């Protein structure tokens, strides 16, 4: 994937529609507030996070063993297990299963992994119809867009947009923007898809090594309807979704929905262990860069992510720039530390799309040190030369001046040149500070000068 537009440009474009941007910010802030309320109801919330974090740390340090254990148990359960090194292989595996079984129509519930692998694209290209059944994903699919949020895929859209899209594709009443009316319309169409499809693809929230089964969480019931109504169920998961034991589900399910939407739990937490009679159940275990990230000491922690999106909702930058500005299947702060692992060059801008305020780290239910990883990626990306020559030389000058007090005093005297470094950072002659902000008024003298004048024995 080659990026043409930087996050900052997309963000600026997003903010042009002030009302919509304010709505986006306010709405996601509200989700964050609901998360706070839910978390505060659990007195030992912080201990719960700590436990989850430690379980994940342990699992990552023993990941191969747990995958082997999971595979063995799953096979005993009658599940067919596949392994895929990358997105392409994953797509090919899914495609092969589908063609072998003469599948023409597929329903798919939410799976960030299949987004990451661009499965829909792949299958579409091969002439297979995949319908996304999560309402938000269905909406963006009809619009030929990408989800902009991993939990709330259509959060960038207003009900007017949805009404228009549904009117076009589902022939709903023009300008009827009632969410219940629109949801019911989609329900009707998708019901038909569920019962006439030949196969269902789902994601996986947790896979349990000890029992060889997996858990899927939804509110809409779409993963279950798809999986139960069809003869073939293919569940796709990143290898980091493994947890050791059933009892650990207690920890993670208590955290997941509270962190995501402030619900005490999702409506459905479905535990799959054996296919129903006459059904094929497949599971595809996917690497796609995860083992590489595991080897990056500073970033392996990112593999603990349970995709709750709490870090999106709290991120003041995400809320004001929208998911599409991150040009990656996973947006937000966690996306910004996962994406450079997949393609440093294309995603070199993302770790800079943050003020490093640290709120993401505080809400993260598995205690990923997100803001520290953003900082570390910055160092690596600049070292690898993805910052451009102008920025590097500006920084070099700055470093030289700041390490030499003589030079520093001199540059200060020349009209408080401090802010003069800014334009070089973005390769722009105009000082971006001043576009919408005034410069501070330069005082008569610096503190250094004042001190020399007023305190003799410095």
DSSP 3-state assignment of 78?
coil
Q: How far apart are CA 27 and CA 451, in angstroms?
A: 50
State in angstroms the smallest separation of the CB of 174 from other proteins: 17
The site map against other proteins for 144-173 (x = CB under 8 A) is --------xxxx-xxx--x-----------
Is 28 near ligand SF4 (CB under 6 A)?
A: no
Report the b/e string of 352-388 with b at 16+ CB within 10 A: bbbeeeebbbebbbbbbbbbebbebbbebbbeeebbe
Q: How far apart are CA 458 and CA 449, in angstroms?
A: 11
Is 323 near other proteins (CB under 8 A)?
A: no
- Find the binding residues for other proteins in span 91-130 (CB under 8 A): none
Nearest Cα to Cα of residue 53 among 274, 420, 305, 300: 305
State in angstroms the smallest separation of the CB of 260 from ligand SF4: 8
The site map against ligand SF4 for 349-388 (x = CB under 6 A) is --------------xxxx-x-x------------------
Is 113 near ligand SF4 (CB under 6 A)?
A: no
DSSP letters along 90-143, please? HHHHHHHHHHHTT--EEEE---HHHHHTTHHHHHHHTT-EEEE-SHHHHHHHHT
**Which residue's CB is nearer to other proteins, number 127 or number 156?**
156
Is 317 near ligand SF4 (CB under 6 A)?
A: no
The site map against other proteins for 50-89 (x = CB under 8 A) is -x--xx-xx-xxxxx--xx--------x-----xxx---x
Q: How far apart are CA 70 and CA 75, in angstroms?
A: 8
Six token digits for residue 170:
């589902």
Q: Which residue(s) pair with 237 in the sheet?
A: 285
- Find the binding residues for ligand SF4 in span 244-283 (CB under 6 A): 259
**Which residue's CB is nearer to ligand SF4, number 57 or number 161?**
57
Is 334 near ligand SF4 (CB under 6 A)?
A: yes
State in angstroms the smallest separation of the CB of 284 from ligand SF4: 21
Contact 420, 393 (CB under 8 A): no
In the set 249, 336, 338, 368, which binds other proteins (CB under 8 A)? 249
Q: What residue 305 binds from other proteins, ligand SF4, none (CB within 5 to 8 A, per partner kind)? A: ligand SF4
Binding site for ligand SF4 (CB under 6 A): 259, 305-311, 334, 363-366, 368, 370
């Amino acid at each position: 994937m080659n990026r043409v537009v930087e996050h900052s440009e997309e963000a600026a474009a997003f903010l042009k529609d002030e009302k919509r941007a304010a709505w986006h910010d306010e709405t996601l802030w509200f989700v964050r507030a609901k998360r706070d309320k839910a978390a505060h109801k659990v007195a030992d919330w912080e201990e719960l996070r700590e436990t989850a974090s430690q379980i994940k740390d342990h699992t990552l340090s023993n990941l191969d063993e747990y995958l082997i254990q999971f595979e063995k148990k799953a096979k005993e359960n009658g599940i067919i297990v596949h392994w895929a090194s990358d997105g392409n292989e994953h797509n090919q595996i899914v495609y092969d299963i589908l063609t072998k079984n003469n599948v023409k129509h597929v329903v798919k519930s939410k799976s960030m992994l299949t987004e990451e692998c661009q499965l829909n694209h792949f299958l579409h290209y091969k002439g297979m119809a995949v319908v996304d059944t999560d309402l938000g994903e269905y909406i963006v699919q009809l619009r030929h867009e990408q989800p902009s949020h991993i939990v709330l895929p259509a959060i960038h859209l207003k009900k007017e947009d949805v009404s228009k899209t549904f009117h076009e594709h589902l022939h709903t009443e023009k300008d009827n923007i009632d969410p219940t009316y629109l949801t019911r319309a989609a329900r009707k169409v998708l019901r038909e898809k569920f019962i006439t499809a030949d196969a269902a693809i789902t994601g996986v929230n947790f896979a349990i090594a000890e029992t060889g089964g997996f858990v899927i969480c939804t509110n809409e019931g779409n993963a279950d309807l798809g999986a139960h109504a069809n003869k073939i169920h293919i569940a796709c998961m990143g290898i980091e979704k493994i947890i050791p034991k059933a009892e650990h589900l207690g920890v993670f399910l208590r955290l997941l929905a509270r962190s995501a939407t402030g619900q005490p739990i999702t409506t459905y937490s479905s535990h799959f262990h054996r296919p129903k009679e006459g059904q094929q159940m497949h599971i595809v275990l996917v690497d796609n860069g995860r083992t590489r990230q595991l080897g990056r000491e500073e970033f392996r922690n990112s593999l603990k992510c349970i995709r709750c999106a709490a870090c999106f909702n709290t991120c003041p930058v995400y809320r004001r720039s929208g998911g599409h500005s991150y040009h990656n299947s996973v947006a937000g702060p966690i996306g910004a530390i996962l994406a450079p692992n997949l393609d440093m060059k294309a995603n070199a801008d993302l770790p800079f799309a943050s003020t490093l305020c640290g709120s993401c780290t505080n809400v993260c239910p598995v205690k990923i040190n997100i803001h520290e990883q953003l900082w570390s990626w910055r160092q690596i990306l600049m070292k690898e030369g993805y910052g451009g020559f102008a920025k590097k030389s500006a920084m070099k000058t700055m470093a030289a001046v700041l390490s030499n007090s003589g030079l520093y005093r001199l540059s200060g005297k020349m009209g408080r040149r401090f802010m003069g470094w800014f334009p070089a950072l973005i390769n722009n002659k105009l000082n971006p500070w001043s576009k919408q902000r005034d410069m501070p008024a330069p005082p008569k003298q610096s503190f250094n000068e004042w001190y020399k004048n007023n305190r003799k024995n410095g």
